[in-house]
Amino acid sequence: MEITLTFEGRIPAQRGDLDVTWTMRRSFSAQLEKVWGKAPFETLKEWEDTAFAAGAPKFTRAVSGQTFVPLYGRDVGVGVDLDITLLTGMPVRKAVISAGDLDNRVKRIIDALRVPNGQGEMSHKLSPGGRYYCLMEDDDAVLSLGARLGPYLGSDDTAVSFAIVRVRPIAMRVTLGNLAMLF
């Protein structure tokens, strides 16, 4: 099943501002929570509800007292093809490519779609025991990637961007448990 996620806000090319990544992560989490437990992801919810009994893969991750629930990844056996369209606010008469480093912005989006790699990627503004839905457990789940850049005409603020992330599942291995997620 194809999923389309969106984000409107700052996506700077420079790394280092953890709050920006967490703003995106919270936005994506709220969108992914809407598909959690519904076809084709009901199998993941059943696995979690049974405490991963009968050999079900334990795909959830605990990082610094927070629970992360990735929908795709190696444990589930399904990777993703990401098609990212990044619309950026641009000053008048400035070339599209000079509006920012596309590679770094795409990497920031991918970072926000995955489970944090540890304490260094955690925000200090989180309440204990939070639950976040992530697209994937790690960026290793990205098996194919396309990106394009265009002008964002929805805001007069040149720092505001609009990202459209189209997600298509790709089999890493096919099982009865993940078969529905592939179509």
pLDDT in the model for residue 3: 95
pLDDT in the model for residue 60: 93
Structure tokens, 81:
């093809």
Q: Which residues pair with 82 in a beta bridge?
A: 145, 167
* DSSP secondary structure code for residue 73 in this structure: B
For 108-145, the pLDDT digits (tens) are 999 999 999 988 889 878 888 899 999 999 999 999 99
Closest CA to 47 of 64, 24, 70: 70
pLDDT in the model for residue 143: 97
**23, 38 contact by CB (below 8 A):** no
| Domain chopping of the chain, boundaries | 3-182
For 35-92, the pLDDT digits (tens) are 999 999 988 998 898 888 877 888 999 999 999 999 999 999 999 999 999 998 865 5
Q: Name which residue leads in pLDDT, 12 or 81.
A: 81
- pLDDT confidence band for 183 (50 / 70 / 90): confident
Closest CA to 84 of 102, 106, 104: 106
Closest CA to 107 of 26, 15, 9, 19: 15
pLDDT for residue 99 is more than 50:
no
pLDDT in the model for residue 52: 87
Nearest-angstrom CA–CA distance, 26 and 56: 27
pLDDT in the model for residue 25: 96
Sequence-distant (≥ 6) Cβ neighbours of residue 88 within 8 angstroms: 11, 96, 99, 100, 105, 149, 150, 151, 152, 158, 161
Burial of 26 (0-12, 13-18, 19+ CB in 10 A): middle
